[in-house]
Structures are given as structure tokens and as C-alpha cells.
Chains A and B, each alone.
Chain A
């Protein structure tokens, strides 16, 4: 490495666009996280449904989004959805669509694994206690499944935060996009990408600590 003179004044001088980008990143993450929490549960219920066509649709959805790269999904939805379906929304909404469906697929699997980890004896115990199938689901299965799925759901959400950086490729002004623009304009990619990386890191580390905390608490609770 040659002698490089770091100059972080480029960051302070361009603080506003970076913060605007960060705001877009956080909005994308928050909206898609909510979509994923709800949508994931719905798709999981479809996967475990007794109705075969519902199962097929859900399994196809999950496999499609798990088995293709998120970057390809974003680009495909950005270019192909308007072409095939004749609809075009603001790129921000297209990004929500792509990232939201992606995390929905992963969260559905997290919920499914959690539900399947509930011992079958709990279902028997509910019957022995005279609880109807609906009450069994609402009061016994669902609360346990959500509790057990929390660490994986949070981990998926951290992944989502990182993945939002991919939307820069379709010119959505998120943190990564603003960083890329500034790097080109100022010829200071080293300082700028280091800062961008640090921001993603600083946002993710607390979340990751929460995951660890949840896991420890759940382990002692659900043991």
C-alpha cells in the first residue's frame, strides 16, 4: 500500500446526501421487514395447508425467491414486470416489491421450521385439554412458533438491511447509491465506501446483539 492521505472532509461536506440515502435505506428495510413478517406467516400457512394447489403456489414462490440471487430478482422485477404486465411504479415501490417478496420467502421457511419444531405431543395435549383446532393454533402453536422463529426472523432482517444496498443498481437513491455517486464526483471512493460500510455495520451490530440476547432468553425459557 502506497502512502495514502485520508481526507474525511469529503464526508462532512456531503453529509446531507448520505443521510438522505440512509433514510431511504431505513425506509426500505422497515417496510420490507413488516411485509416479510406478515407475508412470511401467510406463505408458511399456505405451505402447510391441506389444499394442494395452495401448497404448490407457496412452494414455487419460496423456491423461486430462495434459488435466484436477490440482485437478479431486483433487476428482473425492475425491467420485466413493466414489460410483461404493463405496470410501472416508482422504482422505490418496485424495490419494495422485490425485497419484500425475497424476505417473505425466507421468513416463510423460518416460520415453517419453528412450527415443525413444536412437538406433536403438544397437539395431543391440546386435544386432551378439550381445545378446538382453532384455539389450539391461536393459543398454543402460534405463540410458540413466533417465539422460536424470532432469532431467524431477526437474522433475516439484518440480511435485508444489507440487501437493500443492491437497489442502487436500479438507481434508487439509497445509502449505497448516494455513496457511489459521491465517490464518482469527488474521486474519494476509499473514504466514502469506508464510511458507507461503517454505517451498515453500525446499524447491523445492535440488531445482531439483539438476536444473541433473544436466543439466550429463548433457550432458558423454552428449554
Chain B
């Protein structure tokens, strides 16, 4: 058993048994780290996050949080992993397409899981939700339905919804990819605030400038493997692997960023 905060061991994930998306991923992360995963489309970045969240059935391997195994491949079952749900519930995730529930107001979205999954009282959940919305400058939107919000506001509400469950680690899966460029900053700003509060994060993004700003560590993955794992200063200026350099050159249209 490792003492790492998050420990992914021998993770293998395929679709239909033959399309291997993640191949023997071993990866550790300490509390307070902010790991940004970059790589070409189809390299398995999002799938890695989905596996850590427990949204995918894995073929092989296990995942531990704070030394407790909470996901393990279960060869006996064709459907499910072994999942320790209370531990998995310490992981929070925000998706590319907001995934706010359109039949509920902003407040309703925030208090749904605390009330229905955690058994918190409505008054207590509402109080905490309103406090959090206040901090994000969204309290006037508490009664609004998601359809009435801008993309940036929706994504900030989605982040707030995950934060209200007091996660130990937050996973961000391309959370700004669906946003208009002028709305990206408000979401990235919120993530930078969380970084200041030492929130542990795993982030998949195509925005290399943001990656450089927020990451304590950058992972370059391709073909289901981790090709390079380095601090942003090294990764973006002096990548060790030719594949990393090649990828960065393509996405940045320059040699390196400083």
C-alpha cells in the first residue's frame, strides 16, 4: 500500500476488449498537487479522469485515495468494478458540458446531492449553498434555471455543486472547451482560486497557457500511456521526449512557451 494521496496502479481500460485506451497506467499524486493532463485527442486523458471518478469499468488495476483502495478491476463481474462508495464520494468531478439538471434551479442543483445522497437537512444544505454562491458572486442566480445562465455561469455553478460535497480532490474534464472564449476566464479564475486554497486537482485541458499557469505537474499522455511527467517549467520549455515536443509545437504553433 502506497502512502500517496492518489495512487493509480496498473490501470488498463479497453472498449470492447480490443480498443485499448489506457494501458498499464501507474501514477501517484500528493495532496495539494495540481496535475494537468495534456495530449492528442484519443490519448485517453478523459478516460483516465473517468476511471479515477469510477465512471468506467476497468479491465485491470486499482486506484487508492489516501491509502484506501476504492476502485479495483473485478474480473468476476462483467459489469462493475469493486467500488468503495464512501471513499469514491471524496472525489468530485466537473464535465465539459455543464451537466446541470435543467428541471432544477441553481439552488436545487446545488442541494440535491447533499440532501438526497448525504442526508443533509434542506435548511443546512441551503445555507451552505447560498454561502458558496455568495462567494462566487452568483447568489442572485440561486432561483434561476440553468437555461437562463451563460455558459461560464453554468460551469461555475457545476463547480460549486461539486464543491458543496467537500471533495478531497477535484477532476476537471475539459471544463472550458465548450465555452465562448470570453467566458473562459471566469471559469479559469475560479479554478485558480481553488488552487490558492490548495485543492488537489486533476485537469484535462487543451489550453496550454492555462495549464502552465495552474499546474504543479504536467503529464503528457499518448496512445494510452504516460509519455512524460514533469513540472510545467520543464514540460513547456524543455520537454525530454520528442513526442511531447512535437505535440506542443503543433498545439502552440511555437517551439516553447515561456
Contacts and interface: CB of A to CB of B under 8 A. Distances in A.
B95 A129 contact: no
Interface in B63-94: 85, 88-89, 91-93
A31 interface: no
Contacts of B112: 129, 131, 139-140
A124 B103 contact: no
Interface residues of A, number: 21
Interface string B93-106: 10101010111000
A147 B165 CA distance: 27
Interface string A100-131: 00000000000000000001011011011111
A143 B93 contact: no
A interface: dominant SS:
helix
B162 interface: yes
Nearest to B83: A127
B113 interface: yes
A223 B149 CA distance: 10
Contacts of B152: none
Interface string A130-160: 1110010001100110010000000000000
A122 B102 CA distance: 10
A130 B95 CA distance: 15
A222 B103 contact: yes
A130 B103 CA distance: 19
Interface string B106-131: 00000011001110000000000000
A147 B147 CA distance: 14
A127 B101 contact: no
B102 A144 contact: yes
B106 to A, nearest CB: 13
A215 to B, nearest CB: 14
B161 A129 contact: yes
A127 B102 contact: no
A45 to B, nearest CB: 19
B194 interface: no
B145 A221 contact: yes
Nearest to B79: A50
B104 to A, nearest CB: 8
B4 to A, nearest CB: 22
A149 to B, nearest CB: 12
B171 to A, nearest CB: 8
B66 to A, nearest CB: 17
B117 A132 contact: yes
Contacts of A184: none
Contact of A131 (B54, B99, B113, B147): B113
Contact of A221 (B93, B117, B118, B147): B147
B176 to A, nearest CB: 16
A14 B112 CA distance: 58
A12 interface: no
B252 interface: no
A140 B117 CA distance: 12
A220 interface: yes
A160 to B, nearest CB: 26
Contact of A135 (B88, B99, B103, B116): B116
A129 B97 contact: no
A221 B144 CA distance: 10
6 contacts: A124-B50, A128-B93, A130-B118, A140-B101, A220-B147, A221-B145
Interface of A: 119, 121-122, 124-125, 127-132, 135, 139-140, 143-144, 147, 220-223
